[in-house]
């Protein structure tokens, strides 16, 4: 799939596209309690990490700001890497949905992250179930802190802050 198509159908890219349009204050609200590792795509996670860093410096997460930050901090070494990042940011910004969808996309991204974490936990349990000592298996079964945190953040993002009604 080419990058332009991915920007149109991938919720992670769509969320970042919305973010690239927002000024500092609204961008901070959208990214509240989000972590770069919430995203499955490595490039999207890298860009989210850049956005978190520039917002911490009180800068808007505009494409040129993220690009410049990546270059000046050594996070986009070499010409090929810089060109790939520039193209990714360009495609994501160009094909972004309206910024007003950012909160909805945040919830979708966090739900997917929660589901991935739950699946990974279930896989670990399934692999250990037949052979692990029972004490270790019990400890592994109870180790749900990351899953619980993602669930809490997903539910908080999924709860609408304002109720909208459609006119009859």
- pLDDT tens, the chain, 168 aa long: 665 565 568 999 999 999 999 999 999 999 999 999 999 999 999 999 999 999 999 999 999 999 999 999 999 999 999 999 999 999 999 999 999 999 999 999 999 999 999 999 999 999 999 999 999 999 999 999 999 999 999 999 999 665 444 554
Dihedral of alpha carbons 48, 49, 50, 51, sign: positive
Dihedral of alpha carbons 71, 39, 37, 18, sign: positive
pLDDT of residue 111: 97
C-beta separation of 20 from 63 below 8 A: yes
C-beta separation of 140 from 128 below 8 A: yes
pLDDT of residue 164: 44
């Amino acid at each position: 799939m080419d990058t332009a198509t991915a920007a149109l159908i991938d919720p992670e890219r769509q969320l970042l596209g919305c973010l690239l349009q927002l000024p500092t204050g609204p961008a901070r609200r959208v990214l509240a309690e989000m972590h770069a590792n919430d995203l499955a795509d490595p490039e999207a996670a890298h860009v989210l990490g850049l956005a978190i860093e520039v917002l911490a410096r009180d800068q808007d997460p505009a494409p040129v700001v993220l690009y410049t930050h990546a270059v000046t901090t050594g996070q986009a070494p070499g010409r090929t890497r810089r060109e790939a990042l520039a193209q990714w940011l360009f495609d994501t910004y160009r094909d972004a949905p309206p910024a007003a969808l950012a909160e909805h996309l945040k919830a979708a991204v966090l739900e997917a992250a929660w589901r991935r974490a739950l699946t990974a936990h279930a896989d670990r349990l399934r692999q250990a179930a037949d052979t692990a000592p029972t004490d270790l298996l019990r400890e592994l079964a109870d180790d749900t802190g990351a899953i619980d945190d993602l669930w809490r953040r997903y539910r908080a993002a999924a709860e609408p802050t304002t109720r909208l009604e459609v006119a009859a």
